[in-house]
């Protein structure tokens, strides 16, 4: 690694988790290829995680997604050692979490990592401000700092004026904003978010996703976000990790996974996605050909839906892709239409006539 390159902030290497009375005794069977159903039937143990290898980069949102029972919540609870692995290595800022002393682990949980829960986990007998200041309270920071920091972040998430309310006086969306403010008040570099928006109504959930992206643009936290919702994952992720039965099926840049699913399981996952709304120009554009006749300029972050509207559905249009006043590529509407057709299980796209 060169001096300019930074190691991932979180590194997971060969991580296994087996639930049962004698996990270390059955681990060799799993490493030899025994799957989750066989392990349960033959040995009465549950395979939670199997050979997980993931890098989580500083300042990025890593989304871990999968259906219920896939192991995603189990995985995130390993990062701060709420769960100990059966085997494997977890490095945070280069330090092996499994080798941390009790004091070092307490420091990790109090200073380096914060957590936002699905069920809000607010203390009902404490005010909104006291809940937001909880991390500073446990560190025994001066009361003035607790109050000022809590008020600052509550205002930042849109809760100015309700500091003296109690959780029961707030809506679900507002309570989750308190949870986010509490995580931000801790000033930790890493935020763990376990199904943080799953309990919210769809419109409120969208608002919370937008708020998270807005905050991330400003703060550049390292966020590990757990979800079972692919739309949410594609919207939030810089790096997407998809689990099935405790194993990574595919991981990478979300747009690349959507365009090139590596497994029939992933193909089924992405088949019903509104690709025009999710795919970005940068994922479909081509190099500049030198030819003229563009219908206009577009941004690489524009979604394909906006180009369809702009072209009026006319596939003869071609646009120049411009970023920071520099032309970086071009996009032909015919290529755009091809990208909207999902791949079949054979690896080909359904044929389309243009």
Question: Looking at the 3D structure of the chain, how many domains does it have?
Answer: 2
If we measure between CA atoms, which residue out of 232, 235, 241, 213 comes closest to residue 280?
Answer: 235
Residue 353 domain-assigned? Answer: no
Residue 64 domain-assigned? Answer: yes
- Asked whether residue 241 carries a pLDDT value surpassing 90, the answer given is yes
DSSP letters of 246-272? TEEEEEE-HHHHHHS--SHHHHHHHTT
Dihedral over alpha carbons 283, 287, 292, 293 (to 10 degrees): -20
Percent of the chain residues past pLDDT 70, beyond the cut: 95
Same domain, residue pair 261 and 310: no
Same domain, residue pair 203 and 228: yes
Give the C-alpha separation, 258 to 271, whole Å: 9
Same domain, residue pair 200 and 317: no
Q: What is the pTM of this model?
A: 0.86
Residue 9 domain-assigned? Answer: no
CATH number of the domain enclosing 313: 3.90.1280.20
Same domain, residue pair 296 and 322: yes
- Asked whether residue 272 carries a pLDDT value surpassing 90, the answer given is no
If we measure between CA atoms, which residue out of 133, 221, 112 comes closest to residue 178?
Answer: 133
For residues 186 and 136, is the Cβ–Cβ distance under 8 A? yes
The pLDDT tens digits for 256-268 are 998 889 888 888 8
Residue 290 domain-assigned? Answer: yes
Residue 301's domain comprises 276-339
Longest dimension (CA), the chain: 69
The pLDDT tens digits for 195-216 are 988 888 888 889 989 999 999 9
Of 270, 288, 312, the residue that ends a domain is 270
The reported pLDDT for the residue numbered 103 is 93
């Amino acid at each position: 690694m060169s001096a300019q390159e930074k190691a991932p902030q979180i590194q997971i290497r060969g991580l296994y988790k087996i639930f049962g009375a004698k996990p270390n005794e059955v681990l060799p069977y799993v490493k030899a290829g025994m799957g989750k159903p066989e392990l349960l039937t033959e040995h009465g143990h549950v395979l939670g995680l199997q050979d997980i290898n993931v890098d989580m980069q500083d300042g990025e949102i890593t989304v871990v997604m999968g259906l219920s029972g896939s192991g995603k919540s189990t995985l995130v609870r390993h990062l701060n050692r709420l769960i100990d692995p059966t085997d494997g290595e977890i490095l945070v800022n280069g330090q092996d979490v499994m080798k941390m002393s009790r004091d070092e682990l307490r420091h990790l949980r109090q200073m380096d990592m914060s957590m936002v829960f699905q069920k809000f986990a607010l203390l009902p007998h404490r005010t909104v401000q006291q809940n937001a200041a909880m991390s500073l309270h446990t560190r025994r920071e001066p009361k003035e700092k607790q109050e000022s920091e809590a008020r600052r972040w509550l205002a930042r998430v849109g809760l100015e004026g309700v500091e003296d309310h109690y959780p029961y006086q707030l809506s679900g969306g507002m309570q989750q904003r308190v949870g986010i403010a509490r995580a931000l008040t801790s000033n930790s570099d890493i935020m763990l978010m376990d199904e943080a928006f799953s309990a919210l109504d769809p419109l409120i959930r969208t608002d919370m996703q937008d708020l998270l992206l807005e905050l991330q643009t400003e703060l550049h936290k390292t966020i590990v976000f757990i979800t079972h919702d692919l739309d949410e994952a594609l919207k939030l992720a810089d790096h997407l990790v998809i689990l099935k039965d405790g194993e990574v099926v595919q991981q990478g840049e979300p747009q690349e996974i959507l365009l090139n699913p590596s497994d029939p399981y992933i193909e089924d996952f992405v088949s019903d996605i509104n690709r025009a709304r999710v795919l970005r120009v940068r994922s479909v554009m081509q190099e500049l050909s030198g030819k003229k006749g563009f219908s206009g300029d577009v941004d690489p972050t524009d979604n394909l839906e906006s180009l369809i509207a702009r072209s009026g559905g006319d596939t003869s249009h071609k646009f120049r892709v411009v970023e920071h006043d520099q032309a970086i590529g071009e996009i032909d509407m015919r290529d755009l239409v091809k990208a909207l057709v999902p791949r079949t299980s054979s690896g080909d796209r359904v044929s389309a006539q243009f």
